[in-house]
């Protein structure tokens, strides 16, 4: 009798599981098997399985099938590189007044060490046309580091001279440099048009393009040398306070890229440099 009951129970369980799988196949979706409060998801066309709790599964289904008209992504991080296009005429009076004796090699960068790190407090996406065309905007910090090959030093502002030289080449005998960089940090608001070609997928495909406005809230020249060790000069160094830039991002499933290109010069006088950045973006959409 016990064997018969065991056999009947097993047959009933197999029938229930097959019925669950068949119902999901008819809808051309992933197979799902519910066991208590857990759900086993078998992706269509794959042998891989994922186990999720019932509440998470219901929340995920609502998010994918019924995307919100306004969605918010908190704490987005960018990791990339900072650089600039140098169009400075170093023979001009303006360039020599800002950096006496300078030439194009003074501001050559160490490409691998000139980094860009952005921290976005939030980004929001506002549905405009069927969740395919959206307005995307946010607020965050852009942190740019320009690491120099030459040993140049930025001079802090002095009231004694109206327009003092701001950059000099350090030729102190016996002094070696471990680090020489300019840091320029901006509080930035981006505004973009977003095209999401897969609005019902969590890791979708699309791109965004627009402009950003940033305000320079901090600048410093940091050096580490053999005799002075760590030194930090804080000033605006006559960098432009406002930075307007073209911005773009590309979403390829879970992989996301970003890039920016400034509309104007980086310095108020002397140097004609147009900054740009590019790298990877870590966000939920």
Q: What is the mean pLDDT of residues 204-211?
A: 95
**224-240: pLDDT as tens digits:** 999 999 999 999 999 99
Q: What are the structure tokens assigned to 59, written together?
A: 């929340």
Decide the pairing of beta strands 115-129 and 49-53. unpaired
For the chain, the straight-line distance linking the first and the last C-alpha, in angstroms and rounded, comes to: 57
**Pick the residue with more confidence: 3 or 147?**
147
What distance in Å separates the CA atoms of residue 222 and residue 144, rounded to the nearest whole number? Answer: 13
Nearest to 56 by CA among 70, 39, 44, 69: 39
Give yes or no: residues 101 and 193 share one domain.
Answer: yes
Domain of residue 20 covers 2-61
- What pLDDT is stored for residue 12 in this prediction? 47
Q: Could you give the 3-state DSSP secondary structure of residue 14? A: helix
> What is residue 285's predicted lDDT score, i.e. its pLDDT?
75
Question: Distance between CA atoms of 19 and 28, rounded to whole angstroms?
Answer: 15
The predicted-structure confidence for 236-261, as pLDDT tens digits, reads as follows 999 999 999 999 999 998 899 999 99
What pLDDT sits at residue 170?
A: 95
Note whether 54 and 80 are same-domain residues.
Answer: no
49 and 75 part of one domain: no
What's the chain's average pLDDT?
85
Q: Where is the domain boundary, 40, 61, 82? A: 61
Co-location of 36 and 105 in the same domain? no
Cα–Cα distance measured from residue 188 to residue 239, given in angstroms and rounded to the nearest whole number: 16
62 compared with 175, residue with greater pLDDT: 175
Tell which of 43, 61, 79 closes a domain.
61
Residue position matching structure tokens 């006496």: 100
Q: Is 136 exposed, middle or buried (0-12, 13-18, 19+ CB in 10 A)?
A: buried
What is the number of domains present in the chain? Answer: 2
> What mean pLDDT do residues 67-80 have?
93
For residues 31 and 18, is the Cβ–Cβ distance under 8 A? no
Nearest to 275 by CA among 263, 284, 262, 256: 262
Residues 131 and 269 in one domain: yes
Percent of the chain with pLDDT over 70: 75
Q: Per residue in 78-117, pLDDT tens? A: 999 999 999 999 999 999 999 999 998 999 999 899 999 9
Summarised one tens digit per residue, pLDDT across range 16-70 is: 444 444 443 444 455 666 665 566 666 656 666 666 566 665 655 555 567 789 9
Domain boundary among 44, 61, 78: 61
C-alpha to C-alpha distance for 165 and 2, rounded to whole angstroms:
96
The reply to whether 133 and 243 lie within a common domain is: yes
Domain shared by 26 and 109, yes or no:
no
Question: Which pLDDT score, from 0 to 100, does residue 16 have?
Answer: 44
Q: What is the pTM of this model?
A: 0.77
Using the predicted structure, report yes or no on whether residue 146 has a pLDDT greater than 60: yes
Residues 76 and 57 grouped into a single domain: no
Of the two residues 195 and 56, the one the predictor is more confident about is 195
Residues 48 and 102 in one domain: no
Closest CA to 69 of 122, 133, 139: 133
Cα pseudo-dihedral 45, 46, 51, 52, rounded to 10: -40
Q: Are residues 204 and 167 in the same domain?
A: yes
What is the H or E stretch that residue 56 is in? helix 54-65
Do residues 49 and 16 share a domain?
yes
Element (H, E) at 65: helix 54-65
163, pLDDT greater than 50? yes
53 plus 104 within the same structural domain: no
The three-state secondary structure class of 103 is coil
User: Is pLDDT above 70 for 197?
Assistant: yes
More confident residue, 62 or 212: 212
């Amino acid at each position: 009798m016990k064997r018969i009951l065991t056999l009947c129970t097993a047959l009933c369980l197999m029938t229930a599981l097959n019925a669950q799988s068949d119902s999901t196949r008819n809808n051309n979706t992933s197979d799902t098997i519910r066991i208590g409060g857990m759900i086993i998801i078998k992706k269509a066309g794959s042998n891989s399985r994922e186990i999720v709790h019932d509440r998470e599964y219901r929340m995920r289904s609502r998010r994918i099938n019924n995307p919100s008209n306004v969605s918010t992504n908190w704490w987005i991080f960018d990791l990339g590189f900072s650089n600039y296009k140098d169009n400075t005429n170093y023979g001009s009076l303006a360039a020599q007044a800002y950096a006496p004796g300078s030439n194009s090699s003074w501001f050559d960068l160490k490409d691998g060490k000139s980094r860009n790190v952005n921290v976005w407090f939030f980004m929001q996406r506002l549905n405009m046309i069927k969740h395919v065309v959206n307005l995307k905007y946010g607020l965050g910090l852009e942190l740019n580091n320009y690491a120099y090959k030459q040993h140049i030093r930025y001079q802090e502002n002095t009231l004694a001279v109206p327009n003092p030289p701001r950059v000099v080449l350090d030729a102190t005998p016996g002094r070696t440099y471990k680090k020489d960089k300019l840091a320029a940090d901006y509080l930035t608001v981006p505004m973009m048009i977003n095209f999401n070609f897969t609005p019902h997928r969590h890791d979708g495909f699309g791109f965004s393009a627009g402009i950003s406005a940033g305000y320079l809230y901090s600048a410093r020249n940091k050096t580490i040398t053999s005799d002075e060790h760590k030194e930090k000069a804080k000033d605006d160094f006559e960098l432009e306070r406002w930075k307007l830039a073209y911005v773009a991002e590309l979403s390829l499933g879970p992989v996301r890229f970003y890039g920016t290109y400034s509309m104007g010069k980086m310095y108020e006088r002397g140097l004609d440099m147009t900054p740009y950045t590019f790298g990877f973006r870590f966000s939920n959409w």
